[in-house]
Chains A and B, each alone.
Chain A
Amino acid sequence: MEFQGNVEFAAPREVVWKIIRDPTTVAKAMPDFRDLVVTSPTSFTGSAKVGVSVIRGSFRFQFQIEEENPGSFLRLSARGRGIGSSVDIQTRVTLADGGSPTATRMEWKAEAQVGGALAGIAQRLLDQAADRTVRDIFTNLSRLVREGTAAGP
């Protein structure tokens, strides 16, 4: 399952980069995130509640920055496990100059793979549920960037 989107922020690339590169931002963008532990400069862990409506469970995530080019590119993998299932998300975020000198355009692509109990039982709903979950995360992320940039450097 692949999802993508883009959004423009009224802030320069370095500012946006700093925010999205920060594990706490990622943590806040995830639904009901708890227990953030930064395990290395390029990895962190924590748990989040994933799912839609009543079908929802706690997953432990391991985040790993697989690749980065400060200010322009980030590849982040999130490997989650819970409720007899696995949720693996590979995300690529690209930052580029936006319409104005102080604006930044963020494009994201996410590839999600679900395994175990959820993959079988919820197959018909998986696309839709994953679509919604991933979109919510990026909506949150965008909001956090906006809030962060509004607060000023």
Chain B
Amino acid sequence: MYPRPFEYRAVTTVDEALRVLHEVEDGKVLAGGQSLLPLMKLRLASPGVLVDISGIPDLSYIRPQGENAVEIGSLTTHDTVAHSALLQERCPILPAAARGIADQQIRNRGTIGGSSCHADPASDLPPTLLALDAEFSIVGPKGSRTVPAKEFFVDLFETQVQRDEILHHIQVPTLGPQWGWSYTKFNRREGDYPIVGVAILVRLDSHGRRLEEVRIGLAAVNPTPCRARAAERFLQGQEISPAILKEAAHRSTEGLHPGSDMHGSSQYRRDMVQVFVRRGLEEAVTRARLAGGNP
């Protein structure tokens, strides 16, 4: 647990962070440190300069954006997300996903921005943000831009955020009463990264019978967090029945190439995606029906 030598720069404003990142050759943003530092201690990562942004006061917040959205500063910790009353009211799937991350100590340090930028395909928040069609606001030397979730995650550990940029905030939509959701994390031990993670959002018709819209985000099954588009398309407009949900679960593995490890082979992960998409859909539908007064 002895990292290679590195330089450490603590910054206090976004501008200063961008300036330092621009100046130094081999800079890397440090937020909560819960992904970057373990890799450095294992010597699997060795950035030359750590630019610690955790001291920037105005990047940690959760605030409403009008009625229809919530903006979350990138330094907001998993614990804050997990306990946010505003998110609980407007976008409860996100606190649910954050609650299951690691343990309390890690949730106290780890940030939503760090989790997004690290883009470990097994993380819990990225597939949830994908399902939410969240928007990512990035600032850099050339100003700021906003990237939709479906473009944000580029490849294994790679996002749209460039080396000299930082993720400023993430915007998620308010889910109306016709929406139901579920987040399932399947692992062997409490708090571990999921073997598969499934984030589901469903929007029902006013009778609670038909699926108007379905979004399924998946973790740990591809080089990036991804959506089960084939299953989503299949379900759109369908009348809800066990057979339909089962068929959708079956289609949710289309295009997946899960890696294997000692906790789950590629085949096992595919099987588990099917199990948890089906169960997750059932849970989300039940929730939507309850919320819509159609239990």
Range for the number of chain A residues in contact with chain B: 20 to 34
Whether a CB of chain B sits under 8 angstroms from the CB of A103 is no
What is the CA–CA distance of A84 and B28 in the complex, to the nearest angstrom? 22
Residues of A close to B39: CB separation below 8 A: 54-55
Nearest CB of A to B267, in Å: 13
Cβ A128 vs Cβ B157 within 8 A: no
Q: How far is the CB of A93 from chain B (nearest CB, A)?
A: 25
- Complex partner residue of A129 from B42, B122, B156, B261, CB under 8 angstroms: B156
Binds A, one of B16-24, B43-51, B105-113: B43-51
- A55 close to B43 (CB less than 8 A): no
B166 nearest CB across to chain A (Å): 15
A52 and chain B: residue at smallest CB distance: B156
- In the assembled complex, which residues on chain B have CB atoms less than 8 Å from the CB atom of A57? 43-44, 46
- B235 contacts chain A at the CB level, 8 A cutoff: no
Q: A102: CB under 8 A from chain B?
A: no
Of B122, B158, B257, the contact of A124 (CB 8 Å cutoff): B122
A126 to B156, CA, bound (A): 11
A20 within 8 A of B: no
Bits for A121-137, please: 1 = Cβ < 8 Å to B, else 0: 11111111100100000
User: Chain B nearest CB: distance from A60 CB in Å?
Assistant: 15
For A126, what are the chain B residues with a Cβ–Cβ distance below 8 Å? 259
Q: Does A18 contact B (CB under 8 A)?
A: no
Q: Give Cα A123 to B121, complex, Å.
A: 13
Interface positions, chain A 47-99, Cβ under 8 Å from B, are 51-57, 83-84
Residues of B within 8 A of A128 (CB): 156, 223, 257, 259
* B42 in complex: contacting residue of A53, A121, A125, CB < 8 Å: A121
Cα-based distance from A56 to B47 in the complex (angstroms): 10
Can you name the residue of chain B whose Cβ is closest to the Cβ of A118?
A: B44
Set of chain B residues within 8 Å of A84, measured between Cβ atoms: 43
* B260 contacts chain A at the CB level, 8 A cutoff: yes
Instruction: Tell me the minimal C-beta distance from A130 to chain B in angstroms.
Output: 10
C-alpha spacing A79/B257, complex, angstroms: 28
Q: Does B228 contact A (CB under 8 A)?
A: no
**Which among B28, B220, B262 is the interface contact of A54 at CB below 8 angstroms?**
B28
- Enumerate A100-146 residues with CB–CB distance to B below 8 Å: 117-118, 121-129, 132
- Within 193-247 of B, Cβ neighbours of A (below 8 Å) are at 220, 223
Complex partner residue of B157 from A54, A117, A123, A127, CB under 8 angstroms:
A54
The B23-52 residues at the A interface (CB cut-off 8 A) are 28, 36, 39, 42-47
For B15, what are the chain A residues with a Cβ–Cβ distance below 8 Å? none
B155-170 at interface with A (beta carbon < 8 Å): 155-158
Do B260 and A54 touch across chains, with their CB atoms under 8 A apart?
no
Write the chain B residue with the least CB distance to A53: B157
- Smallest distance from the beta carbon of A142 to chain B beta carbons, Å? 20
- How far is A56 from B156 in the complex, measured between Cα atoms in Å? 12
In the assembled complex, how far is the CB of residue B186 from the closest CB belonging to chain A, in whole angstroms?
Answer: 14
A124 touches B261 (CB 8 A): yes
Given contacts A52-B156, A52-B157, A55-B45, A127 and B259 within 8 Å (CB-CB)? yes
In the complex, chain B residues whose CB is within 8 Å of the CB of A125: 121, 156, 223, 259
A124-B220, A124-B261 given; A54·B156 CB < 8 A:
no
Residue of B nearest to A126 (CB): B259
B33 CB to closest chain A CB (Å) equals: 13
**What are the interface flags for A31-57 relative to B under an 8 Å C-beta threshold, 1 for contact and 0 otherwise?**
000000000000000000001111111
6 A-B pairs whose Cβ atoms sit less than 8 Å apart in the complex: A53-B119, A83-B44, A122-B44, A124-B220, A125-B156, A126-B259
Interface residues of B, Cβ cutoff 8 Å to A: 28, 36, 39, 42-47, 118-119, 121-122, 155-158, 220, 223, 257, 259-262
Closest 5 CB pairs of A and B: A53-B157, A124-B261, A123-B261, A54-B45, A128-B223
16 additional A-B residue pairs with CB within 8 Å, beyond A55-B157, A83-B44, A117-B43: A52-B158, A54-B45, A54-B47, A55-B39, A57-B46, A84-B43, A118-B44, A123-B262, A125-B121, A125-B259, A126-B259, A127-B259, A128-B223, A128-B259, A132-B155, A132-B223
